[in-house]
Chain A
């Protein structure tokens, strides 16, 4: 599962972080990196089942979710991460900065995409959507189910593990590269459902929408999806800080559980805001000095790095004091 979307959700409090260490790192395609994560104490990480994902906690409390794609019996966990140039920076952070030996914190595993028992499966993967399906294929094979995987991607070279899968499973794997084969025929993929058969699909929204649109002949519940999910923000570790308003020199204290917008408005300073959840961009405020924790869904990664502006309804300080042009 990869991350996409524009909503900001609060991470569930209470789940303890699990410390892990990166034990291997391998580039699978030009854009996909595979990481294995182990217990820093050399022990065994918690068990999981095919379809499970973990929350990987990155800098700034940003949380990204990745499907576990190794084997449930492994003592370590395996994830694959697609570099998304146009995403909000989580995947770039992983690609550019995470090396073997780095310590990370994760939560989970959780499973919203469990493999049900069936005599026959049709799997459909679009690009990086292959990840939750990989352990499912092994399970289906072990149970001697009748199954096929249609694996789609823009080009064959962009599809992680495609050759390994063909080698291991032979003609159960149907590879579809858009540049050679044209548009994937979702209608053909879904034709002639048989009794008790289940479909598991993971991939970009457009592909899943097409599956939904063509799902007519299938009984309710027989087509199961893993959708790309929105990001979570962990606010439990938020710290208090100060903001200095450059126009008047006023210094205001922002408690851990309140926004800059609230505090500034309460002090009688007029501000413009609208959604008050980091999605509309109305409260954008110039920052004269200080480090920012960006929590909005509006600014690009480049703009975040420049640190000249922030959305004061959700974003916070990564230092003791921010000086705002207010």
Chain B
């Protein structure tokens, strides 16, 4: 049975929605399983925000494609802003072998080996934060930690020029949405991107990835004949592009939620081993990745609502994570003792974030170490949210801490 699709006169990329998306999330969920939304730059968008619908689309990768882009642009019809990603912007059957190689690179065993060096980096960082006492947690906590451990362990890229990663990521994640006046301004302020783009390209080359890093494991697949010389740098790039900003903002969002919910901070401080649960609940409560897109391979229906081949479907991860049908009456509460398993923030199915074990390990180590050694954390000024087409996060997050 075909039904008429409800429509909402709301632009998901407006500054209002980017600043506070939760009312928009609720309205999309309540309007129906598939909802037409307005987009000022003229993109024809339908959104899905219920847990069940988002889950179904993730579970049907042959019908709802990734190869036409995880962002708002259609990689078949629109001009791509970069070379297509072999891992994310790909469908089975071609995706299958690539995914298998990447899952093996980021295997539980390879990830577990990182714990010691992550712990050392966390101890060193918390030493420094206890000296500072008052600091911008966005820079000194959320950016400092991944920028230390990710380039070392994951990519094995050179120390010099790591600040390019942040500029590259802003470019990447803004480009996955429309060129709104705000996004255009941000991209203009980034200035000439030649340097970060070529720094990233150079960092992915065989001679520039450190031995033992995940980047070198990807290159090792070339030696075994499983990847070509041109595929390897593309996959190293996917770690660089997807693994830095997402983790930074997730750490910042988690800390900000803990500052805003002192009872939850106390639960964590009293039992620092809850770090990993606090992180997963934080990204359930406020998904760092706002949305991803899927594209129907042919004209079809989603729960009775017709969608066209090639039409971009916006999977609203943050909306699904607050769906009372899935999370009950307490969906809108931040509760680190909740069982947050099964949230959509890392996606689901064959495209589920391949790097999520690394992000979870980083968060577990850093949050547990921080909570063990810090008794109180309070705001030290006004926090400034960062608006971005794809990500939720903070521009600055001033806090004051006291030692345990």
Contacts and interface: CB of A to CB of B under 8 A. Distances in A.
In this complex, the member of A270, A274, A282, A299 whose beta carbon has the largest number of chain B beta carbons within 10 angstroms is: A274
B342 A271 contact: no
A271 B340 CA distance: 9
A275 B352 CA distance: 8
B337 A282 contact: no
B107 A273 contact: no
B360 A298 contact: no
**Interface SS of chain A: helix, strand, loop or mixed?**
loop
A5 B356 contact: no
A6 interface: yes
Contacts of A124: none
Interface in B343-395: 343, 346, 348-350, 352, 356-357, 360
Contacts of A309: 108
Contact of B342 (A208, A273, A299): A273
A157 interface: no
Contacts of A279: 352
Nearest to A178: B225
A271 B356 CA distance: 16
A289 interface: no
A280 B356 contact: yes
Nearest to A212: B93
Q: For chain B, which range describes its interface: under 10, 10 to 19, 20 to 34, or 35 or more residues?
A: 20 to 34
A187 to B, nearest CB: 18
B276 to A, nearest CB: 6
A43 B389 CA distance: 68
B108 A299 contact: yes
A191 interface: no
B350 A270 contact: no
A177 interface: no
A310 to B, nearest CB: 11
Given A274-B346, A279-B352, A280-B352, A205 B108 contact: no
Nearest to B349: A275
Contact of A282 (B94, B339, B341): B341
A298 B107 contact: yes
Contacts of B100: 4-6
Contacts of A204: 97
B283 to A, nearest CB: 11
B103 interface: yes
A270 B356 contact: no
B280 to A, nearest CB: 6
A270 B104 CA distance: 28
A209 B94 contact: yes
A272 B93 CA distance: 30
A271 B350 contact: no
A265 interface: yes
B135 interface: no
Given A4-B100, A5-B96, A282-B356, A276 B107 contact: no
B30 to A, nearest CB: 27
Nearest to B280: A272
B356 A274 contact: yes
B109 interface: yes
A284 B352 contact: no
A211 to B, nearest CB: 11
Nearest to A261: B341
B93 A271 contact: no
B108 A274 contact: no
Contacts of B145: none
Given A272-B277, A276-B341, A280-B352, A227 B107 contact: no
A205 B93 contact: yes
A299 B357 CA distance: 13
A257 B265 CA distance: 38
Given A209-B94, A270-B339, A276-B341, A6 B99 contact: yes
A185 interface: no
Given A271-B341, A276-B342, A282 B277 contact: no
17 contacts: A6-B96, A205-B97, A209-B94, A227-B93, A265-B341, A270-B337, A271-B341, A272-B340, A272-B341, A273-B342, A274-B352, A275-B352, A276-B341, A298-B108, A299-B108, A300-B107, A303-B108
Nearest 3 pairs of A and B residues by beta carbon: A273-B341, A281-B108, A205-B93
Given A5-B96, A6-B350, A299-B107, 6 more contacts: A4-B100, A209-B93, A227-B93, A275-B349, A282-B356, A284-B108
